[in-house]
Amino acid sequence: MTFLWITFLYAMLTHKQIWSAIDALAARNDLSPSGLAKLAGLDPTTFNKSKRGGANGKLRWPSTESVSKVLSATGASLNEFVSLVEGGATRSRMIPLIGIAQAGSRGFFDDAGFPIGSGWEEIAFPELADEHAYALEVTGDSMLPIYRDGDRVVVSPTTTPRRGDRVIVKTYEGEVMAKLLARMTAQRIELKSLNPAHEDRTFPLPDIVFVHRIIWASQ
């Protein structure tokens, strides 16, 4: 019965609506499209952008079987998927994602601290006012108990951070860290560690590439 209803949806709805619903379903479960495919036991590339259209411009649809499998894997009902179809295209967009350990390497940010380059993955996330927003995946235990290994944080480069905000800080030596902004002046920045086992940090402000505010986390 589920296959019949999905086939019916394909006949009534657009290519973009169906793919947007899959992206929204992935975001709702804190997954990338490839992560959603893995969860459903599918090839990780099943929902990649390259699979959504051919070089000749011909549109490609996700198979009814793949949609059925992701609904089963996530526990989402067909009605929930329909609601995502109806609103997913306007409620979410793709934002870049890399591991926080990778973020210290060159080539991922421009001089203004905005994400660039081709090494990023993408995840769907509800529409944001900041077109430069990006996501980082936490590795290790240095940010416990606030952020665990595998958690994702969404960061806004254009939002002005204030005292008490959780922030992502990058130094010119290539260190990237998630901290609590304790104080920032024209000369220095003071950062409080999220994990009590790790020391607080203080840097001369000229040593800092950027301080970006964390606006959401998959906790």
Q: Which domain holds residue 60?
A: 2-92
CATH of the domain at 21: 1.10.260
For residue 105, the model assigns a pLDDT of: 92
At residue 142's C-alpha, the angle toward residues 139 and 143, to 5°, is 85
Q: Are residues 114 and 36 in the same domain?
A: no
Picking from 46, 72, 92, the residue at the C-terminal end of a domain is 92
Residue 165: predicted pLDDT: 93
Residues 6 or more apart from 83 whose CB is under 8 A from it?
none
pLDDT of residue 3 exceeding 50? no
CA angle 37, 16, 23 (to 5 degrees): 35
Residue 213 CA to residue 129 CA, distance in Å, equals: 14
pTM over the 0.75 mark:
no
- Together in a domain, 59 and 39: yes
- Region 180-207: mean pLDDT is 96
In the prediction, which pLDDT does 103 show? 95
Which of 30-39, 41-50, 111-120, 165-174 holds the top average pLDDT? 165-174
Question: How distant, in Å, are the alpha carbons of 1, 16, 113, 164, 169 from that of 177?
Answer: 49, 37, 14, 16, 5
CATH code (residue 197): 2.10.109.10
Q: How confident is the model at residue 88 (pLDDT cuts 50, 70, 90)?
A: very low
Q: Of residues 18 and 35, which shows the higher confidence score?
A: 35
72 vs 52: CA distance, rounded Å: 22
Report how many domains make up the chain: 2
Same structural domain for residues 128 and 210?
Answer: yes
The pLDDT of residue 63: 83
Tokens of 63: 């198979």
Taking the CA of residue 62 as centre, how many other CA atoms within 13 Å lie in the half-sphere pointing to its CB?
Answer: 31
Q: Whole-angstrom Cα distance, residue 59 to residue 163?
A: 48
* 92, 110, 142 - which closes a domain: 92
The amino acid at 97: L
Token pair recorded at residue 37: 């495919």
Give the contacts of 7 (CB within 8 A, at least 6 positions apart): 64
Tens digits of per-residue pLDDT, 98-156? 999 999 998 999 988 999 988 899 887 766 678 899 999 998 888 888 888 988 899 99
Q: Single out the residue in 92, 120, 150 at which a domain terminates.
A: 92
More confident residue, 217 or 164: 164
**pLDDT per position as a tens digit, 165-193:** 999 999 999 999 999 999 999 999 999 99
Mean pLDDT of the chain: 85
Look up residue 107 and give its two tokens.
Answer: 């080539």
Question: Do 81 and 166 share a domain, yes or no?
Answer: no
Nearest to 61 by CA among 92, 9, 19: 19
Beta bridge partners of 125: 93
Q: Please indicate, yes or no, whether residues 113 and 202 belong to a single structural domain of this protein.
A: yes
Same domain membership, residue 104 and residue 71: no
For residue 126, the model assigns a pLDDT of: 67
User: At residue 66, does pLDDT exceed 60?
Assistant: yes
